Structure 1
Amino acid sequence: MPRLHGQSGYTRFAQRVQSRLRALDAFAELIRSRRTHKSFGPDPVPRETLDELLELARWAPNHHRTNPWRFRVLGPVTLERLKDAAGPPEAPKLDRARTLVLASCVLSGDLQQDEEDVCATACAIYTVLLAAQARGLAGYWRTPRVLRTKAGREAVGLPDGERFLGLVHLGTPRGEPPVPERAPLEAYREYLP
């Protein structure tokens, strides 16, 4: 008996749904398994891998498609300048990972747009962290005080029209951080009438 068009169409639809459900399960596991790592292996993340992670960041939600995020991969000279600006107590923390990515947001001067752009940049940073996790890399989203100072901003060439959002440490993981306690859904979810 010949196959009806509707049956084959339904079969393709069902296969797409099943494929998406498997992808959702994998994505949920990726989100739940991501951890903040503070101990990294000695090797830097290859440039090609970094470019792949940062390319994915541009797909973050962004109202008006302003593309406000900026990512600067710190080289050894810039890192030394930043460590000098940070001073002896904080400088060792900058050596935790061989790959450091400064994430910032270009500000427009419009308060509403800037707020949306900061949120979009935060989504872009999280995208980088999730993509790194999927690649088997460890990540750490830091907000060191030095990058809120004039000396720190100058050390990395951060212009006045950009807001610093994070210094992302990336590398191969050393060890596995414990699973943190999380508040139950009921603690932060509310259905309004």
Structure 2
Amino acid sequence: MDTIEAIVGRRNIKQFKSEPIAEATWKKWLEAASYAPNHRMNQPWEILVIGEETRAKLNHRPNFGDAPLVLAIVSQGSEKPVERDENLVATSAFIQNFCLAAHAEGAGTRWTSIGNTPNAREILGVSDETATIWVLGVGYPLEVPEVKERAPIETKTRQLS
């Protein structure tokens, strides 16, 4: 699968097969994801592997699509807004890289923001209110949603003189 095909074909998966993903495989995707651009090479992400007990406490109503693997990705916070934004953008690029690596190998992800609730922060042990947390369900898709039409890029582009 080439890069453009991976980007255009990646979807947020709603439901997963029960088939597990080998630890070596998802760790390879995390390693690839770590090549995301990040300011001053601070690598502002932390990965939490969510076990069954923690997953039950999070009580995500669709249960992360019954994904066999659930990861929380934490972006370091900062009291400085520009640094917090830089960390957030770098961690988002890390997550996108991970999602593309998974997709390129036939897996999929369900990217959620449940980690930013006060209850989830407590469960995950992330007390820094300036940090941002996403939780990903990861597995082999039961079904891949159809591509949704995007606005023509011309409507999102301005030329400056």
For normalisation by structure 2, the TM-score amounts to: 0.91
Two-structure CA RMSD over aligned residues (Å): 1.7
Gap change, CA 1:37 and 1:149, over 3 Å in 2 = closer
Aligned to 1:156: 124
Q: How is 1:1-193 mapped onto 2 (pairs within 5 angstroms)?
A: 26-83=2-59, 90-94=60-64, 96-144=66-114, 147-160=115-128, 163-193=131-161
Contact 1:59 1:124 in 2 (8 A): yes
8 Å CA contact 2:77, 2:128 repeated in 1: no
1:98 is displaced (CA, Å) by: 1.7
CA contact (8 A) 1:106 1:161 kept: no
Unaligned runs of 5+ in 2: none
Offset from partner CA, 1:131-169 (integer Å, 9 cap, x none): 00011101121112xx33332111122232662341111
Is there any run of 5+ residues in structure 1 with no aligned partner, and where?
1-24, 84-89
The structure richer in helix per residue is 1
Paired residues in the alignment total 161
Secondary structure at 1:91's aligned position in 2?
coil
Give me the TM-score of the superposition, normalised by structure 1. Answer: 0.77
Supply the distance in 1 between the matched residues of 2:105 and 2:23 (Cα, whole angstroms): 14
1:102 positional shift: 0.6
Distance 1:103 1:26 in 2: 26
Percent same amino acid at aligned positions?
A: 30
Deviations 1:40-60 (A, max 9, x none): 000232211111111112110
Work out which of the two has the higher radius of gyration on C-alpha atoms and give 1 or 2.
1
For residue 99 of structure 1, report the CA deviation from its aligned partner: 1.0
Deviation per residue, 1:26-80 (Å, 9 max, x gap): 1111111111110100023221111111111211000111110111110112112
Q: 1: CA distance between counterparts of 2:149 and 2:45? A: 31
